[in-house]
């Protein structure tokens, strides 16, 4: 659900401090100073020179200075910033009714029917919350109650959210973020440096060892939860199917498989759901704010078997989870995804981007590996004397160089050396070509530094 926070200067592990004297416009410096006086100290900004944004439409953001940036990073506005269909749906519903789910209303039922139709059987029940973090928290509660066990397996550099429970599943939040007592990590997948035939078996073996550790502690296994593209672990997309063995091992031990679809879902990988690429059926799937194009809505979708015991024995209520306004936004997102053929568009444009990244890799030895699924792509950057060794400093320079050139991307992975490209699905072929042209120039320039 988020990028690594490990590389200074890209994700701003130490934030951006206007007092350091960076070359920013006076109005931006003043805004930073005002921000520093009122916002909590845990906040971070992207880029060495923060982007002060005034408005956004489609795949473009406009800064306070009028400069327009190409957005190749933001997945939350999945169908594009400020989409008119979402704006209209929200405005109309807000003028009619907005209340909680303890009253009987039709829109939430109609939307749920449509949403569940995009999932394979037997994923047939949905429970709503407001954020992905809340949905992760709920999925963990359901799994522990269903199994009577407490152990959770995650990837080594995972990010799953910001509630207490979700943060305890999020090692990418940094060394001072303590993981849960009953949480075990497995090594991050590294498809750039692992033979394709070994990726799945290694993951399966790692999960089997984690199961043995939890059982040896007496915790048992409640669930494994993986982001379906392991985004914070560096966007690991290949080979399709490499997570299937992990699911089988956990289920054999009595646990559930939870697919974190906050980043991978809603057409991002070219299909409805990222888990489909792995040929597996999760017991629970977690959805986040892309489902409402940024409106506060999230969900847990799962089998009746996984959820029934929790539903019958535990009182759960989320006051505005699935409220009518957020449901209206979510319904508009489904409309646009279907009417504009954005799943096929993600596949087609993603293939164009991946082919372009491969051309860049062929021309620059510092680009060690590229990969992607739909409009979710990554490029690993390596050291000059050993391209297979991750180079986070180069990644930092490239991300900030792209920002200077007017294109917004990020970086990810345990070393923060994997460029992360994840634009809104409104990204056009021309946008893709612009990104590739700028990236080729910036990587060439920064590789010589």
pLDDT in tens, 345-396: 999 999 999 999 999 999 999 999 999 999 999 999 999 999 999 999 999 9
Helix ranges restricted to H, 300-341: 304-313, 324-339
% of the chain beyond a pLDDT of 70 = 95
* pLDDT reported for residue 3: 52
* pLDDT reported for residue 24: 85
Cα gap 17→1, rounded to integer Å: 25
* pLDDT reported for residue 131: 98
3-state helix/strand/coil string of 214-257: HHHHCCCEEEEEEECCCHHHCCCCCCCCCCHHHHHHHHHCCCEE
Q: Is 56 helix (H, G, I), strand (E, B) or coil?
A: strand
**Confidence band (pLDDT; 50, 70, 90) for 7?**
very low
Residue 447 CB: number of other CB atoms within 10 A?
18
Q: Is 168 helix (H, G, I), strand (E, B) or coil?
A: coil
**Confidence band (pLDDT; 50, 70, 90) for 23?**
confident
pLDDT in tens, 131-140: 999 999 999 9
Label residues 190-223 b or e (16+ Cβ within 10 Å = b).
bbbebeeeebbebbbbbbbebbeebeeeebbbbb
The domain ranges of the chain are 18-79+342-447, 84-339
CA Rg, the chain, in Å? 21
Contact 330, 79 (CB under 8 A): no
pLDDT in tens, 49-96: 999 999 999 999 999 999 999 999 999 999 999 999 999 999 999 999
Q: Is the per-residue pLDDT at 229 higher than 50?
A: yes
Dihedral sign (CA 51, 52, 56, 60): negative
pLDDT in tens, 420-435: 999 999 999 999 999 9
Q: Which of 199, 223, 211, 47 is nearest to 150 (CA)?
A: 223
* pLDDT reported for residue 449: 84
DSSP state of 44: -
Q: Is the per-residue pLDDT at 326 higher than 50?
A: yes
User: Distance of alpha carbon 436 from its chain centroid, rounded?
Assistant: 22
Q: Is the per-residue pLDDT at 8 higher than 60?
A: no
Mean pLDDT of the chain: 94
User: Distance of alpha carbon 115 from its chain centroid, rounded?
Assistant: 19
Cα gap 100→324, rounded to integer Å: 8
Task: For residues 134-155, give the mean pLDDT.
Answer: 98
For 18-79+342-447, the fitting CATH number among 3.90.1150.10, 3.40.50.300, 3.40.50.2300, 3.40.50.920 is 3.90.1150.10
Fold (CATH) for 84-339 = 3.40.640
Q: Is the per-residue pLDDT at 161 higher than 60?
A: yes
């Amino acid at each position: 659900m988020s990028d690594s926070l490990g590389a200074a200067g890209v994700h701003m592990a130490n934030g951006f401090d206007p007092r350091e004297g960076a070359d920013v416009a006076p109005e931006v410096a003043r805004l930073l100073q005002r921000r520093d006086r009122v916002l909590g100290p845990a906040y971070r900004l992207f880029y060495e020179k923060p982007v002060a944004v005034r408005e956004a439409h489609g795949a473009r953001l406009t800064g306070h200075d009028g400069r327009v940036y190409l957005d190749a990073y933001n997945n939350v506005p999945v169908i594009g910033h400020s989409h008119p269909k979402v704006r209209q749906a929200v405005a109309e519903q807000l003028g009619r009714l907005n209340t909680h789910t303890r009253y009987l209303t039709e829109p939430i039922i109609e939307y749920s029917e449509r949403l569940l139709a995009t999932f394979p059987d037997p994923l047939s029940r949905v429970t709503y919350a407001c954020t992905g973090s809340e949905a992760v928290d709920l999925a963990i509660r359901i799994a522990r109650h269903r199994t009577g066990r407490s152990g959770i397996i995650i990837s080594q550099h995972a990010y799953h959210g910001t509630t207490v429970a979700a943060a305890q599943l999020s090692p990418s939040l940094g060394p001072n973020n303590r993981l849960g007592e009953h949480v075990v990590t497995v090594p991050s997948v590294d498809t750039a440096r692992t033979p394709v035939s070994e990726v799945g078996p290694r993951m399966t073996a790692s999960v089997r060892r984690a199961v043995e550790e939890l059982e040896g502690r007496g915790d048992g296994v409640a669930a494994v939860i993986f982001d379906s593209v392991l985004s914070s672990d560096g966007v690991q997309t290949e080979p399709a199917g490499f997570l299937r063995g992990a699911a089988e091992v956990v289920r054999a031990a009595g646990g559930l498989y939870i697919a974190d679809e906050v980043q991978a879902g809603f057409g991002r990988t070219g299909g409805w759901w990222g888990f489909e690429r792995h040929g597996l059926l999760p017991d629970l799937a977690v959805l986040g704010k892309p489902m409402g194009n940024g409106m506060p809505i999230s969900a847990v979708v799962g089998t009746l078997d996984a959820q029934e015991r929790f539903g019958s024995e535990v009182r759960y209520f989320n006051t505005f989870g699935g409220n009518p306004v957020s449901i209206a936004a979510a319904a508009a997102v489904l409309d646009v995804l279907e009417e504009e053929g954005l799943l096929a568009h993600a596949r087609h444009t993603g293939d164009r981007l991946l082919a372009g990244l491969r051309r860049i890799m062929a021309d620059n030895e510092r680009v060690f590996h590229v990969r992607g699924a739909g409009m979710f792509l990554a490029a690993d950057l390596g050291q000059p004397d050993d391209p297979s060794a991750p180079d986070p400093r180069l990644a930092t320079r490239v991300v900030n160089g792209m920002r200077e050139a007017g294109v917004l991307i990020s970086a990810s992975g345990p070393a923060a050396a994997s460029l992360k490209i994840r634009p809104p699905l409104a990204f056009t072929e021309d946008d893709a070509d612009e990104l590739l042209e700028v990236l080729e120039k910036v990587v060439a320039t920064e590789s010589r530094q």
